[in-house]
Homo-oligomer: A and B are copies of this chain.
């Protein structure tokens, strides 16, 4: 990619990341699967897991319908209702572009606010993404959420 193509792609990836985070933080979870292609891979794991070659992850979905199922389960459980999450997403680094696919890595931080006003650092880490253009819209083929911590809340309530 030339400099113009690079800047344009960076703007598109940045806008996608911002829309993704806002859908979660605004509790529009039903929109979340729409950021992925049909045959996608979404995984929450830790840097330690990756280093150890442990492919399982804490959360795993390999299709958009599995993501939609997850949202339904979260809505039924209602466990996240008492908290608010705020994603602060850093600048995407474009790692490369192969066969119409963009690879990017992006740091993130998620702050949680309890109903009583207490705030804490819920998660920090980086996204490892493979992105593709689908009918003019950028979508995730793969989003691996690599958390810095290996200690997850017994159930990771929301998408990260």
From B6, B11, B92, B109, give the contact of A86 (CB < 8 A). Answer: B109
Segment of A31-39, A56-64, A66-74, A144-152 in the binding face: A144-152
A47 lies within 8 A of chain B by Cβ: yes
A10 lies within 8 A of chain B by Cβ: yes
The A interface, classified by DSSP as helix, strand, loop or mixed, is mixed
A89 to B108, CA, bound (A): 10
A15 to B86, CA, bound (A): 22
A139 lies within 8 A of chain B by Cβ: no
A159 lies within 8 A of chain B by Cβ: no
- Known contacts A18-B92, A149-B119, A151-B116, A107 near B124 by CB under 8 Å: no
Residues of B within 8 A of A17 (CB): 91
Q: Tell me the nearest residue of chain B to A47, going by C-beta.
A: B84
Residues of B within 8 A of A149 (CB): 84, 113, 117, 119
Q: Are B14 and A84 interface neighbours, CB within 8 A?
A: no
For chain A, give the interface size range: 35 or more
A53 to B46, CA, bound (A): 41
Q: Tell me the nearest residue of chain B to A11, going by C-beta.
A: B7
Residues of A bordering B, CB below 8 Å: 3, 6-8, 10-11, 14-15, 17-19, 21-22, 25, 47, 84, 86-93, 105, 107, 109, 111, 113, 116-117, 119-121, 124-126, 148-151
